[in-house]
């Protein structure tokens, strides 16, 4: 079975549609989203609607969580807080309700899916966790494989029962080894922050147990101009370049 894992689309319709076009070629058995469908980008309504039309299951990201609990906006900087308010205004009542009701985690094919840090944190960052914090989680966790997003950077963290291994995606694919437990960060479809502005997502082969990082080019200048035209912070446009 082939599973596609998308994270942090961030209302970037051009990046998302480019990924969908690639998925239509690769034909995965399931597509799962790791949250932050919205935020920063200019097309939250269109992206959420497309996720729903495609039937892609999604967990809740921090940008959806603040719609359900306004107190969480205190974790945002002033630009992100203002952007969240404007994003909320751009969503129809139906899609706003959809975002508010997303689950904090999903289980599928023996793996767990959450936005920030397992088992269901929308705010925790994998790359800010110490080795001891990760080991503590993996010792008591059910299952050997976890997929997360939130950092916008591709990363593999593995534990063999003795030590932690942290490895960026330096190659296109890697094989999951027996005896390891893994947390894999899927990067970002709509706002990568790793020096490569292509949209990114993962393909996971549940039988042969390999994970591939897929990179898709798209015209980010269209999205950047729409961000500026919306009156959103220009930083959100420049990040795409």
Q: What is the pLDDT of residue 222?
A: 98
pLDDT tens sequence across 86-142: 999 999 999 999 999 999 999 999 999 999 999 999 999 999 999 999 999 999 988
HEC string of the chain equals: CEEEEECCCCCCHHHHHHHHHHHHHHCCCEEEECCCCCCCCCCHHHHHHHHHHHCCCECCCHHHHHHHCHHHHHHCCHHHHHHHHHHHHHCCHHHHHHHHCCCCEEEECCEEEECCECCCECCCCHHHCCHHHHHHHHHHCCCCEEEECCCCCEEEEEECCCCEEEECCCCCEEECCCCCEEEEEECCCCCCCCCCCCEEEEEEECCCCEEEEEEECCCHHHHHHHHHHHCCCHHHHHCCC
Q: What is the pLDDT of residue 142?
A: 86
Domain range list for the chain? 2-238
Of the options 3.60.21.10, 3.30.450.20, 3.40.50.300, 3.40.50.620, the CATH number for the domain spanning 2-238: 3.60.21.10
Q: What is the pLDDT of residue 103?
A: 98
């Amino acid at each position: 079975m082939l599973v596609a894992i998308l994270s942090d689309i961030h209302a970037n319709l051009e990046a998302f549609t480019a990924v969908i076009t690639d998925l239509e070629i690769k034909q995965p058995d399931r597509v799962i989203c790791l949250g932050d469908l919205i935020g920063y980008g200019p097309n939250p309504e269109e992206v959420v609607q497309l996720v729903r039309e495609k039937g892609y299951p999604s967990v809740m990201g921090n940008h959806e969580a603040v719609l359900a609990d306004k107190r969480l906006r205190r974790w945002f900087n002033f630009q992100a807080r203002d952007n969240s308010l404007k994003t909320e205004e751009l969503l129809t009542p139906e899609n706003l309700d959809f975002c508010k009701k997303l689950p904090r985690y999903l289980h599928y094919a023996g793996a767990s899916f959450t936005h920030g840090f397992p088992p269901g944190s929308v705010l925790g960052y994998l790359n800010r966790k110490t080795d001891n914090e990760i080991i503590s989680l993996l010792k008591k966790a059910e299952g050997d494989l976890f997929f997360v997003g939130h950092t916008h950077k591709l990363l593999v963290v593995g534990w063999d029962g003795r030590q932690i291994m942290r490895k960026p995606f330096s190659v296109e694919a890697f094989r999951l080894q027996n005896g390891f437990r893994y947390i894999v960060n899927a990067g970002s479809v709509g706002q990568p922050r790793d020096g490569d502005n292509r949209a990114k997502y993962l393909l996971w082969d549940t039988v042969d147990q390999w994970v591939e990082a897929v990179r898709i080019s798209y015209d980010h200048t269209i999205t950047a101009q729409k961000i500026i035209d919306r009156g959103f912070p220009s930083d959100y446009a420049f990040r795409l370049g």
